[in-house]
C-alpha cells in the first residue's frame, strides 16, 4: 500500500515512466509518505544515508556510474540546504540529479512553525528547473501537478543533463498508506534529440488514427507552411484548423471552426474531436475549441515548439517535439506512406459543416442591422490585397474571425498576454517600417487607453485605424457574467460618450466618421485606398444594445435547421 497523497502518487508513477529507478533517502517525518511509497514499490532501488550533504553526493556518484537520473529525497527545513554543494557540482558537471524535498504547507512558511524555511526555488540559480507541486483538490489541480512533474523530469536530460528540484508540500495527516497501486498518469514524451525521433513511430500513429487534426495557433506572416501542409494533407485525410492570426492559407483549411462548434448540439461534439492532434504556433483565441479538446481528449497530441517548452493549453500533450514546425512537418510528409484502404473522411465532416455555417452567416449578414458585426465584416471585405491588418484584443479579434479574409492579407495581434494596452502603439511602430498599408481594427477603450501612440513624429502616411466606438467595453455585454453586477455599466464596461475626433485632429491625422451603412459605404473606399497620402482614423459609432442583440442572434441562427 502506498501514501494517499495525490502529488506523491503522481510523482512516483512518472518517475518510473521516465526511468528513474534509484532513490537515495534521508530519514525524516515530513518526507515519510515519500519514503514509504518509494520503498514499497519494487520498481525503485532505495538507499538510506542519514547526512543529507553526503546523501546528495552519494546520489551524484550513482548517477555518474549509471549514466541515468538518480533521485535524492529529504525532509523539510534545513535538511534541504545540505544538498547545496552536490547540486552545484551536478549543475556544472551536467549530471541529472533529481532533488525531492518534502515541505510544510505553504500557508505555514514564516509562521514560526517547526522546520519551515522558504524551500521553493532555494536552488533556482543552480538547477535547470525548480517547481513546487500543489496538493491537488480537484481535476485542474491534478492536471497542473501532472504537467509540472512532466516539465521537471523532461528537464533532467533535455538539451544537456542537469539537476532539477521538486518541492512537495504535504499536509497532515502524513501516515495514511491506503492506496493499493500507483495510478496510470500521463507522461509527456519529449523528443529531445533528432536520433530519438523515429519516423516509423510517427508514421504508425498517423496511419492508425482515423481522425487527424492540425491546429495552427498564432504565427507570423510568411511562415512558409502553406506548401508543407498541403503536401502533408496529400498523405492522408486530416483537417486543418487555423484562425486569421495563424497566417496560413490552404484551400481546405477551416477558418470558421469556432462558429462550427457553436452550431453543434452537445451530442455531436465528440464526433468532431480528433484521435491525433498536432499543434503548432503561439496562442489560440477560440474558447470553444479549447473546451472541446479538454473534454474529448485525443489519444495522441504532438505539440511542435522550437523552444521545447511545455505549453499544455488543451491538457492533452503526449509528445513534445522541440523542432522547427516547418522542418518537422516536411519530414513527416516525406516519411508517411499512405494507407491503401479507404480512410475515414474526417475532413469532409468538418468541411460540410463549415460550408453550411458560411451560408448561414452570409444570410445573417444581409439582414443584420448596422452594428459592430456588420461594420467589421464590411471593413474586412474592403481590405486591399497585400495589406497588413492589426487586430486589437478582446472583441475586435473575435468579430474579425467571423468574416472571410483575403488570403493575401497578413494578420497580427498582441495575443501573447491579451491586454488592451499597446495595440495602437504596436501598429504605429509596424507601419513606420512597412511600405504597404497597415490597418488597425480597435475598440474605443483600447484606443483611448493607448492614445499617446498618436503623439508620435513617425506616424506613417500608410496607417489606417478603424475605431469601433460603442461607448465602452462592448465585450462585457457579449459574455455571460458581467451583466449580473450592478457595477457593469459604470465600472466593468466603463460606459462613456466620448468621441476621438478632437484628439485625432490635434495629432494631425485625417478624420472620418460613420453612424450608418450609407456613411460607411462612402468612407470605406477612401479609407482603404492605397493612393491616399494621409494617415487616417475612421471612427464608427454603434449601439451597445444592438451589438449584444445581433451577436446573440447570430449564434441562435447557427443552430437553426
**Average pLDDT for consecutive 10-residue bins of the chain (561 residues)?**
96 98 96 96 97 96 96 95 96 96 91 85 96 96 97 94 97 94 95 60 90 95 93 92 94 94 95 97 93 97 91 95 91 83 84 96 95 96 96 89 94 83 93 96 92 93 95 58 57 71 95 97 96 95 90 89 69
Percent helix, strand and coil across the chain, each to the nearest 5: 45, 15, 40
The total of structural domains in the chain comes to 3
pLDDT of residue 474: 56
pLDDT of residue 194: 45
In this structure, are 198 and 173 located in the same domain? no
By CB neighbour count within 10 A (0-12 exposed, 13-18 middle, 19+ buried), where does 108 fall?
A: middle
238 in any annotated domain: yes
The alpha carbon torsion through 423, 406, 547, 246 (nearest 10 deg) reads: -50
Helix ranges, 368-487 (H): 372-382, 395-401, 423-432, 444-449
In this structure, are 225 and 373 located in the same domain? no
CATH number at residue 211: 3.40.50.1220
pLDDT of residue 476: 54
**How many Cα atoms sit within 13 Å of 167 on the Cβ side?**
24
In this structure, are 457 and 543 located in the same domain? yes
Q: Could you tell me where the beta strands, DSSP code E, fall in 174-238? A: 189-190, 212-216
In this structure, are 441 and 541 located in the same domain? yes
Q: What is the 3-state secondary structure (H, E, C) of 456-497?
A: CCCCCCCEEEEEEECCCCHHHHCCCCHHHCCCHHHHHCCCCC
In this structure, are 163 and 298 located in the same domain? no
* Rounded Cα–Cα distance for residues 252 and 529 (Å): 31
What angle do the packed helices 346-367 and 372-382 form, to 10 degrees? 110
70 in any annotated domain: yes
DSSP assignment letter at 251: T
By CB neighbour count within 10 A (0-12 exposed, 13-18 middle, 19+ buried), where does 486 fall?
A: exposed
136 upstream amide cis, omega within 30 of 0: no
248 in any annotated domain: yes
Domain with 90, as residue range(s), is 6-177
**SS3 assignment, position 319:** strand
Cα dihedral sign for 233, 239, 243, 249? positive
* Rounded Cα–Cα distance for residues 17 and 189 (Å): 10
pLDDT of residue 116: 85
Close Cβ partners of 148 (under 8 Å, ≥ 6 residues apart): 131, 133, 134
pLDDT of residue 195: 44
189 in any annotated domain: no
Diameter of the chain by CA atoms?
84
Which run of H or E residues covers position 391?
Answer: strand 388-391
In this structure, are 281 and 381 located in the same domain? no
pTM here?
0.89
**How many Cα atoms sit within 13 Å of 448 on the Cβ side?**
18
417 in any annotated domain: yes
In this structure, are 401 and 533 located in the same domain? yes
CATH number at residue 153: 3.40.50.970
In this structure, are 158 and 246 located in the same domain? no
135 in any annotated domain: yes
Tell me which of 352, 377, 408 is where a domain ends: 352
pLDDT of residue 113: 81
183 in any annotated domain: no
In this structure, are 469 and 531 located in the same domain? yes
Close Cβ partners of 226 (under 8 Å, ≥ 6 residues apart): 248, 249, 250
pLDDT of residue 471: 74
* Rounded Cα–Cα distance for residues 255 and 484 (Å): 33
Tell me which of 290, 320, 352 is where a domain ends: 352
In this structure, are 392 and 531 located in the same domain? yes
In this structure, are 279 and 340 located in the same domain? yes
Tracing cell 512558409 back to the chain, one arrives at 224
Tell me which of 352, 384, 404 is where a domain ends: 352
In this structure, are 382 and 469 located in the same domain? yes
400 in any annotated domain: yes
Q: Is 512 left (phi over 0), alpha (psi -120 to 50) or beta?
A: beta
* Rounded Cα–Cα distance for residues 542 and 561 (Å): 30
Query: 149 and 22 in contact (C-beta within 8 Å)?
Result: no
In the chain the first and final C-alpha atoms are separated, in Å, by 56
Amino acid at each position: 500500500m502506498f501514501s494517499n497523497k495525490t502529488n506523491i502518487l503522481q510523482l512516483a508513477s512518472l518517475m518510473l515512466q521516465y526511468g528513474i529507478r534509484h532513490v537515495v533517502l534521508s530519514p525524516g517525518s515530513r518526507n515519510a509518505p515519500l519514503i514509504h511509497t518509494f520503498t514499497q514499490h519494487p520498481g525503485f532501488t532505495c538507499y538510506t544515508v542519514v547526512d543529507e550533504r553526503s546523501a546528495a553526493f552519494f546520489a551524484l556518484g550513482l548517477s555518474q556510474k549509471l549514466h541515468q537520473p538518480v533521485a535524492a529525497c529529504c525532509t523539510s527545513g534545513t535538511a534541504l540546504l545540505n544538498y547545496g554543494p552536490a547540486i552545484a557540482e551536478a549543475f556544472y558537471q551536467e549530471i541529472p540529479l533529481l532533488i525531492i524535498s518534502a515541505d510544510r504547507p505553504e500557508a505555514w512558511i514564516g509562521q514560526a512553525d517547526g522546520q519551515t524555511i522558504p524551500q521553493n526555488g532555494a536552488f533556482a540559480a543552480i538547477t535547470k528547473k525548480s517547481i513546487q507541486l500543489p496538493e491537488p483538490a480537484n481535476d485542474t489541480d491534478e492536471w497542473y501537478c501532472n504537467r509540472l512533474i512532466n516539465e521537471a523530469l523532461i528537464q533532467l536530460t533535455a538539451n544537456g543533463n542537469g539537476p532539477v528540484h521538486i518541492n512537495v508540500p504535504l499536509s497532515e495527516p502524513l501516515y495514511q498508506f491506503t492506496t493499493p497501486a500507483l495510478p496510470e498518469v500521463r507522461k509527456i514524451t519529449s523528443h529531445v534529440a533528432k536520433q530519438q525521433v523515429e519516423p516509423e513511430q510517427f508514421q504508425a500513429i498517423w496511419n492508425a488514427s482515423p481522425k487527424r487534426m492540425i491546429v495552427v495557433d498564432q504565427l507570423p506572416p510568411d511562415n512558409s507552411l502553406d506548401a508543407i501542409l498541403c503536401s502533408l494533407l496529400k498523405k492522408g485525410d486530416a483537417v486543418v484548423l487555423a484562425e486569421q492570426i495563424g497566417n496560413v492559407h490552404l484551400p481546405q483549411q477551416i477558418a470558421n471552426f469556432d462558429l462550427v462548434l457553436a452550431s453543434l448540439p452537445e451530442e455531436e461534439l465528440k464526433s468532431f474531436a480528433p484521435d491525433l492532434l498536432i499543434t503548432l504556433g503561439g496562442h489560440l483565441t477560440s474558447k470553444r475549441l479549447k473546451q472541446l479538446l479538454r473534454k474529448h481528449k485525443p489519444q495522441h497530441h504532438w505539440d511542435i515548439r522550437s523552444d521545447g517548452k511545455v505549453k499544455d493549453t488543451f491538457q492533452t500533450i503526449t509528445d513534445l517535439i522541440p523542432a522547427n514546425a516547418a522542418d518537422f512537418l516536411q519530414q513527416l510528409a516525406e516519411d508517411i506512406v499512405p494507407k491503401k484502404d479507404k480512410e475515414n473522411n474526417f475532413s469532409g465532416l468538418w468541411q460540410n459543416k463549415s460550408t453550411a455555417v458560411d451560408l448561414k452567416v452570409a444570410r445573417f449578414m444581409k439582414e443584420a442591422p448596422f452594428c459592430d458585426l456588420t461594420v467589421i465584416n464590411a471593413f474586412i471585405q474592403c481590405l486591399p490585397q497585400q495589406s497588413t491588418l492589426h487586430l486589437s484584443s478582446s472583441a475586435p479579434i473575435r468579430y474579425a474571425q467571423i468574416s472571410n479574409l483575403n488570403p493575401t492579407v497578413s494578420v497580427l495581434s498582441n495575443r501573447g498576454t491579451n491586454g488592451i494596452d499597446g495595440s495602437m502603439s504596436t501598429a504605429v511602430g509596424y507601419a513606420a517600417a512597412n511600405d504597404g498599408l497597415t490597418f488597425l481594427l480597435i475598440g474605443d477603450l483600447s484606443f483611448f487607453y493607448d492614445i499617446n501612440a498618436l503623439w508620435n513624429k513617425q506616424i506613417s502616411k500608410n496607417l489606417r485605424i478603424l475605431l469601433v466606438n460603442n461607448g465602452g467595453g462592448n465585450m462585457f455585454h457579449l459574455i455571460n457574467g458581467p451583466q449580473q453586477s450592478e457595477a457593469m455599466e459604470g465600472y466593468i464596461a466603463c460606459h462613456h460618450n466620448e468621441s476621438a475626433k478632437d484628439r485625432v485632429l490635434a495629432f494631425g491625422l485625417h478624420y472620418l466618421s460613420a453612424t450608418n451603412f450609407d456613411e460607411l459605404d462612402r468612407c470605406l473606399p477612401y479609407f482603404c485606398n492605397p493612393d491616399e497620402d494621409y494617415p487616417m482614423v475612421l471612427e464608427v459609432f454603434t449601439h451597445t444594445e444592438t451589438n449584444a442583440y445581433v451577436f446573440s442572434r447570430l449564434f441562435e441562427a447557427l443552430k437553426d435547421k
